[in-house]
């Protein structure tokens, strides 16, 4: 039985062609639109329609749901901690030392491989569509879309600033200002490959931070601050570079700081993601639990 997604044309989109509406408002690719046309899978007010037809406010556009044919990655058995799931979205808690998706020479053992196996065990064939990435050693929330249209809608929220991310971080020392904004443009590091740096001609990057607590070990005066960070933009290594630039690199960050005996990775955790569900319109907030290595640091400091 054929299934359709239904969209109602808003007043602001009146006069657009069906093709433009599908491509630029709903985010469908040209190839997918061609396939839908061949299958007569585009209906305007319940009738097959030409792509050049102009839509009017209040029109009902129905688009055939094309079933995924593959996972896009090789399914592999592995533990996946599901934080939120419905028929269109799944949010997973990524562990440390793992890529979100195959990249470079790493084609196996990623979160995407394990999630594909999770779907496979449920008898579902769903292309793995990560909405965003985390560094290999960063833990926490990663959002995956189960449908291309949901992915497009959430990507638009990312562009519009409606998709919000909160991180927890541990840094050495006590910040001079307990809270503030870091507004420094970022670009490729001119001296070291695969690194980012504050560059005058770089892309705008804004991070908000506040100190949740500063932990002190009296016998050696060691101070470690727990920060909450909100990304206003989402540049590569943004938090890592911004904090290093103000003199408080992430604890254990070998690339922008230095190794730490307290943790085997950079101490960064994607604590919360908040977005508007594209179908229901409800605001969804998902939280990843406190990582074990963060807990161990607190114990080591005697708290």
Domains 4-64 and 81-160 share a fold: no
Does the pLDDT value for residue 217 go beyond 80?
Answer: no
Which residue carries 């291309």 as its tokens?
148
The answer to whether residue 303 scores a pLDDT higher than 90 is no
Q: Tell me how far apart the alpha carbons of residues 166 and 274 are, in angstroms, rounded to a whole number.
A: 9
Is 81-160 assigned to CATH 3.40.50.2300?
no
CATH of domain 4-64: 3.10.290.10
Structure tokens at 274: 């908040």
pLDDT in tens, 250-281: 999 999 999 999 999 999 999 999 999 998 99
pTM: 0.80
What are the extents of the domains in the chain?
4-64, 81-160, 164-300
135 catalytically annotated: yes
Query: Is the pLDDT confidence value at 212 over 80?
Result: yes
Distance CA 154, CA 277 (A): 8
pLDDT score of 287: 98
d(CA 130, CA 154): 11
| 135 neighbors 211 (Cβ within 8 angstroms) | no
Q: How confident is the model at residue 39 (pLDDT cuts 50, 70, 90)?
A: confident
State mean pLDDT over 166-188. 95
Task: Please name the fold of domain 164-300.
Answer: Pseudouridine synthase (3.30.2350)
Please state, in angstroms and rounded to a whole number, the distance separating the CA atoms of residues 98 and 264.
13
Active-site entry in 135, 183, 189, 253: 135
């Amino acid at each position: 039985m054929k299934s359709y997604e239904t969209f109602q044309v808003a007043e602001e989109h009146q006069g657009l062609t069906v093709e433009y509406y599908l491509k630029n408002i709903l985010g469908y690719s040209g190839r997918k639109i061609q396939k839908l046309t061949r299958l007569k899978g585009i209906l305007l007010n319940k009738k097959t329609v030409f792509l050049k037809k102009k839509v009017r406010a209040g029109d009902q556009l129905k688009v055939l749901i094309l079933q995924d044919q593959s996972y896009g990655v090789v399914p592999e058995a592995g533990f996946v901690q599901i934080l939120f799931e419905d028929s269109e979205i799944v949010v997973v808690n990524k562990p440390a030392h793992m890529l979100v998706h195959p990249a470079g020479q790493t084609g196996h053992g990623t979160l995407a491989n394990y999630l594909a196996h999770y779907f496979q065990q449920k008898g579902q064939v769903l292309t793995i569509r990560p909405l965003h990435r985390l560094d290999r050693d960063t833990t926490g929330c990663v959002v995956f879309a189960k449908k291309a249209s949901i992915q497009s809608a959430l990507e638009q929220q990312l562009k519009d600033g409606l998709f919000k991310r909160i991180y927890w971080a541990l840094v050495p020392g006590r910040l001079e200002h307990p809270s503030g904004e870091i507004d420094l443009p970022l670009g490729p590091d001119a001296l070291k490959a695969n690194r980012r740096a504050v560059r005058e001609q770089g892309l705008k990057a804004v991070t908000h931070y506040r100190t949740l607590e500063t932990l002190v070990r009296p016998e050696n005066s060691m101070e470690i601050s727990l920060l909450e960070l909100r990304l206003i933009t989402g540049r590569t290594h943004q938090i890592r570079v911004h904090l290093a630039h103000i003199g408080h690199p992430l604890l254990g960050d070998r690339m922008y700081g230095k190794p730490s005996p307290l943790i085997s990775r950079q101490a960064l955790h994607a604590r919360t993601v908040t977005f508007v569900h594209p179908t229901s319109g409800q605001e969804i907030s998902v939280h990843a639990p406190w990582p074990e290595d963060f807990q161990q640091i607190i114990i080591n400091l005697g708290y």
